[in-house]
Chains A and B, each alone.
Chain A
Amino acid sequence: MFQHVVRWTFMITIWKKYKGQLLTTIGYFIGLLLISFVHQDYLDFVKAANEDQQYVATSFMFKWLAYIGITLVYYWVFTRFSKSAESADHAKGSSLGFLKKYARKSTSTSNKGDSPLSAGYASEKQGTPKQAPDFERNDPFENIRNKSKLRSEADILLDQKKSSDK
């Protein structure tokens, strides 16, 4: 019972997340199989009918061209699926949606806006020229996003101590 639940949960999760990629891969393998079956059929036909074998070499060339073509198409479709999923993730994840919402809430509940965020929204409310709030203009996490390794509190303290010792 539990085994089935785990199995299906796992499969459904994988399917939901990688549906596009899985379908593309299945399609790719089916395409490869079809090409090889068609080619095999042609070879069998040539053998059985004692046909002229001058096109056999060409058929192999076509087969491999089809393989390469289908592989290129597969690669293109696969990367398109991955990129679209990635951009959707990025759009969802990188925006400061939470903070925006919070800033709107704070301006609606109180008019005191000493933070740059609320100041941005307050100026918008008063009819001054539209100016994007600070977090939209400068992402505070931009530098952190580009760092190869982040420092913990201890690392930062040690760095500060080292620089003060010098």
Chain B
Amino acid sequence: MNLKEELNFKQKITEKVREKAIKRAETRIMLAGKTAADFNEDQLEILVKEEEDKIFGSAKEKGLLVLASLLGLSLWS
């Protein structure tokens, strides 16, 4: 693996988010009393996509909150 690949943060973040979304989708499936094998690939893709969008949405919200608290609460003083 070369340095360029190792420093590909965007890809790493995307992979991590995808893994988290899959984990959440598994939880949703389990809570519904079903298994992943009960769904076809398109349905699973929709589920994972929904979870991924939620993760990105909450990350944006948290980022704004952190920024606000950094500015408003003078964290580093």
- Spell out A's residues near B (CB within 8 Å): 2-3, 6-7, 10, 79, 89-90, 93-94, 96, 98-99, 102-103, 115-117, 134-135, 140-141, 143-145, 147, 150-153, 156
A3 to chain B: closest residue by CB: B73
Known: A6-B75, A141-B26. 8 other contacts (CB 8 A): A3-B73, A98-B27, A98-B30, A116-B37, A140-B41, A141-B25, A150-B52, A156-B46
Q: What residues make up the interface of B, taking CB atoms closer than 8 Å to A?
A: 6, 16, 18-20, 22-23, 25-27, 29-30, 35-39, 41-42, 44-46, 48-50, 52-53, 69, 73-75
- 20 CB-based A-B contacts, threshold 8 Å: A2-B73, A3-B73, A3-B74, A3-B75, A6-B69, A6-B75, A79-B6, A102-B35, A115-B35, A116-B35, A117-B35, A117-B37, A140-B37, A140-B44, A144-B18, A144-B41, A145-B22, A151-B42, A152-B46, A156-B46
Interface centre among B6, B19, B39, B45, by most chain A C-beta atoms within 10 angstroms, is B45
Asked if B36 and A151 make an inter-chain contact with CB atoms under 8 angstroms apart, the answer reads no
Provided the pairs A135-B37, A143-B41 are in contact, do residues A99 and B26 lie with their beta carbons within 8 angstroms? yes
From A96, which residue of chain B is reached at the shortest CB distance? B26
Nearest-CB distance from B30 to chain A (Å)? 5
Interface contact B30-A99, CB-CB below 8 Å: yes
DSSP class of B's interface residues: helix, strand, loop or mixed? helix
| Cβ of B41 to closest chain A Cβ, rounded Å | 6
With the chains together, A20 CA to B73 CA distance in Å? 28
- Residue of A whose beta carbon sits closest to that of B1: A79
| Cβ-defined contact, B36 with A141, below 8 A | yes
Query: Which of B26, B42, B44 meets A98, CB within 8 Å?
Result: B26
Check if A96 sits within 8 Å of B42, measured CB to CB: no
